[in-house]
Every structure is written in structure tokens, then in C-alpha cells.
Structure 1
């Protein structure tokens, strides 16, 4: 992932498709586009440090359970969407 980050830091746009990444890989991204089946957009925006922005977004939705301590945010998002 460091090589991908190095390319992005040169000003190039990098698009990655991942499924259930480890927390280390997930948090190496700056922005996230999360889509459901059929291409429905679920989230588009910054991850934030330690996924804080995306967690804040989903936890602000009524009925969405709070993320548990030591839970991988990527796994949590797949579970709640």
C-alpha cells in the first residue's frame, strides 16, 4: 500500500477496489466511496484520522448501532449497510 500512497502523493488519482480490508489498509486511504449492490451510493467523503469522519457519519444516522471498541470500521460499515 505504501507504493500506492507514493503514487497518490505525486498528484495522480488512484482508485482501488477492496473488499473487507484489514484496518491498516482501510485507514491508509484518504477518501472513501462506499456503494451497495446496484451501485447505490452509501457514503462518499473523507475517512478522517482513525476513520473518525466515516464513523461519525454513520453513527449520526438514527438506528445505526455504535461501533464497538477494537472493531474494524470497514467490517462495521459492511455490517450496518
Structure 2
């Protein structure tokens, strides 16, 4: 992932497809496009520091449980 980050830091756009990343890998990304089955967009935007933007978005949806402290946001989604 260091190579990917170094590439991004040069101003290039990098698109990655990942499945259940560790919290360290997940939080190394700047933005997320989350698709549900059928290709419908569920979330598109910045993750925020410690995934704060993503967590705030999902916790703002009625019926969505709050994330537990220290839990991986990629697993929680």
C-alpha cells in the first residue's frame, strides 16, 4: 500500500477494488465509492480522519447501529 500512496501523492488517481480490508489498509484511502448489489451507489465521498465522514453518514441513517469503539469500519458497513 505504500507504493499506492506514493503514486497518489504525485497527483495521480488510483482506483482499487478491495474486499474486507484491515482497518490500517482501509484508513489509508482518501475516498470511497461503495456499491451495493446491482451496482447502485451506497456511499461516495471522503472517509475522513479515522473514517469519521463515513461513520457519520451511516450512523445518520435511521435503524443503523452505532459502530463499536475500535471496530473496523469496513467490516461494520
What is the TM-score normalised by the length of structure 2? 0.98
Structure with the higher fraction of residues in helix conformation: 1
1:61 partnered with 2:61: yes
Residues 20-78 of structure 1: CA deviation (Å, up to 9, x unaligned): 0000000000000000111010000000000000000000011100001121000000x
Q: Which runs of 5+ in 1 are unaligned?
A: none
- Give the structure 2 partner of residue 39 of structure 1: 39
In structure 2, the residue corresponding to 1:32 is in which secondary structure?
strand
RMSD (CA atoms): 0.5
1:11 aligns with 2:3: no
Secondary structure in 2 aligned to 1:38? coil
Gaps of 5+ in 2: none
- TM-score, scaled relative to structure 1: 0.93
